[in-house]
Structure 1
């Protein structure tokens, strides 16, 4: 099965960096920052299955799943910090998902609204794509975006992803993009 091929022997680097950002492998210490991000109604509108912030216990379980994902797959989400001041601005990384019954590696990202519109999402997503192709040697990655999320569609376009199809994910319609190595 293809899922076995996605188990990476050495895994992704624990830290990644760009000119303006650095990302550190997500850990349990990140819950306060992730709670702040995910509890924002503007963010939840695009990343929560219900469109509203999830209860604290659900967010804690989600963080635990993301931490376990690193252990299982050798890659996952990075908590993003600005280089100039260390501020936590969001997350970006790779998540293994079943989409339409097929295992895929999704480039996922979310930023705090104060950091929208500065190119940070594109910068982080490009670096994660680089990790996927250069460090993990994945043949391709995908990106799921809710149709109304124009900013995330713009990030996918700027990173070179190509629209492939419409899918349902987490009970919601999404645009499915793919980028080949």
Structure 2
């Protein structure tokens, strides 16, 4: 998947060190402290889980690269999960702080949401966001998701607000 400035592709184990450079940054995990990863082995295991989802479902979390520099700057994608008994597509995105404010998360998330609406039109897409994570909420609402308290759920680090594509 390619956007104006980014390319998104299935992760590979060779990406683990660059992913560690993002997920080990305390600013990236500020709203989800349990997601902080500091060991390469843990990232390799995480990439293995991402690849397992790809193998089972044909889609999943993507590595996001700047088209111009080919630098890995984040991850964005979808994964199946269950919220309150309903199977949904969880939209997730994480980017290195050096890219914040450039619209990369919005650009990547919009592309992934568009893919979901074209490929899996009957499925509910949910972005789970902490009430204090205003930047992530802006990404969700900018791409057309709406606050949907019916899917609010307790996350590992606290309450997650739901933003969905439900009309």
TM-score between the two structures when normalised by the length of structure 2: 0.90
Following superposition, the deviation at residue 61 of structure 1 comes to 2.0
2:133 maps to 1:149: yes
Gaps of 5+ in 2: none
Matched residues, number: 165
Match of 1:175 in 2: 161
2:67 maps to 1:83: yes
2:148 maps to 1:164: yes
Work out whether residues 89 and 123 of structure 2, in 8 Å CA contact, stay in contact via their aligned partners in 1. Answer: no
Work out whether residues 144 and 175 of structure 1, in 8 Å CA contact, stay in contact via their aligned partners in 2. Answer: yes
Q: 1:160 to 1:170 in 2, by over 3 A?
A: same
CA distance in 2, matches of 1:47, 1:23: 23
TM-score between the two structures when normalised by the length of structure 1: 0.84
DSSP 3-state at the match of 1:17: coil
Work out whether residues 79 and 88 of structure 1, in 8 Å CA contact, stay in contact via their aligned partners in 2. Answer: yes
Work out whether residues 16 and 44 of structure 2, in 8 Å CA contact, stay in contact via their aligned partners in 1. Answer: yes
2:132 maps to 1:140: no
Gaps of 5+ in 1: 1-15
Match of 1:5 in 2: none
2:46 maps to 1:62: yes
2:7 maps to 1:40: no
Work out whether residues 63 and 76 of structure 2, in 8 Å CA contact, stay in contact via their aligned partners in 1. Answer: yes
